[in-house]
Amino acid sequence: MPSSLSLIRLPALSIVDLVGADATAILHNLTTNDVKKLTADGPQHAGLETFITNVRGKCLGHVVVFATQDGYRMIGAPGIVATADNSGTVRQSQAIAEHADRYTIREDATPVIRDEELAAWMVIDGDAEPVQTTPLPNMTNQDGVDSYQLPWVKSGTLFLLPIDTAAEHPSRIADRLGVNAESLAMGDENDFHVHRVAAGFPWFGIDLTDAHLPQEADRETQTISFTKGCYLGQETVARLDALGQVQKKLVRWKLSGLPAGAEPAADDKLRALDAPEDAKPVGRITSVGRIDDQGEGLAMGYARRSHFEAGEKLAGMISAGDVGDVAYTAEVLPPVLGDSPE
């Protein structure tokens, strides 16, 4: 194994197991991708990235799904978002479980939240340079340890292990990888998000919420089947596909011209390159990746239709201490490619 491996303990993810004889029918009715294609046969099997949509076709959840012996496992970001009445917050897992319950009447399908039972560890291999392709979801069970290849980063493996044995996890993971535990460089959550931004993967609750439509994430080929049959919110998704347009999209930007020691933050606004400083924004940053010493880096966020094609350049302003506000450039990178579920 290369010495570039880093081990990162992630905060509790959203992990929901949907179990029961009718789990396939229920999940099929709530997801944009064709989960009926998934099987749990053999020690290694494929997964699918999918949105879970509400009746209006908005993104109630964004997960990777794998078939299990008694149903399905959904894995996603913590996804902490405001409740519909703004009275508090809810995790993505809770929203998904309540959604599945709401649309289960007599069927045998029960959502089980595993967030607090499983510790999430990400092993990342390689650098955080931007990519145009990411790995297909894949699950492997070896020596009693489940590991997941996910499109969250360019090259990495997610391990989910019982939380009550967390002290043993680094050595167990090292054994599973065939390396010494000392060779794994310990990283933190920020390191994970740097690699995630490079891979262009949206994090629910940060880059996506239930206010967004699936196509606004610009991941149709990875997440939406247009031949699977009916599901909740399908009419909205199909209508957008027929019209061929959304008013904004999630993009990656290559940043340049940033002053030393300064970097943008989530919710910073971007304007057209040739527009006056008081012009209406056409972009909004949601996640920031690594910024180097030359003032170049990566970010993700939403660009308006007029400025979301690859190569479009936007301008931002950032405070640089005694120097005052400094302009920088954000150029849209090509979208991340994925294999179609069709």
Give me the CATH number covering residue 315.
2.40.30.110
73 Cβ partners below 8 Å, 6+ apart?
Answer: 15, 16, 17, 65, 66
If asked whether residues 163 and 95 sit together in one domain, one would say yes
Is the separation of the CB atoms in 123 and 184 below 8 Å? yes
Q: What is the arrangement of strands in the sheet containing 14-19, beginning at the earlier edge strand?
A: 48-53, 59-68, 71-76, 14-19, 110-113
pLDDT for the residue 81: 82
Q: Are residues 173 and 292 in the same domain?
A: no
Residue 3, pLDDT above cutoff 80? no
Residue 224, in any domain of the structure: no
What's the number of domains the chain is made of? 2
Judgement on whether residues 37 and 177 belong to the same structural domain of the protein: yes
pLDDT class of 339 with cuts at 50, 70, 90: low
Average pLDDT over residues 81-106: 90
240 falls within a domain: no
Answer yes or no: do 254 and 180 share one domain: no
Are residue 170 and residue 283 in the same domain, yes or no?
no
Could you report how far apart the first and last alpha carbons of the chain are, in Å? 35
- When pLDDT is averaged across residues 6-27 and rounded to a whole number, the result is 98
| Predicted local distance difference test score (pLDDT) of residue 335 | 93
How large is the average pLDDT for residues 284-305? 97
Q: Collapsing DSSP states into helix, strand and coil, what is residue 172? A: helix
Phi-psi category of 302—alpha, beta or left, where left has phi over 0 and alpha has psi -120 to 50?
beta
pLDDT at 340: 61
The closest alpha carbon to 51, from 41, 36, 65, 40, belongs to: 65
Task: Give domain status of residue 226, yes or no.
Answer: no
Average pLDDT over residues 147-171: 96
pLDDT for the residue numbered 2: 43
Domain extent, residue 100, equals 6-199
Q: Are residues 256 and 152 in the same domain?
A: no
* pTM for this prediction: 0.95
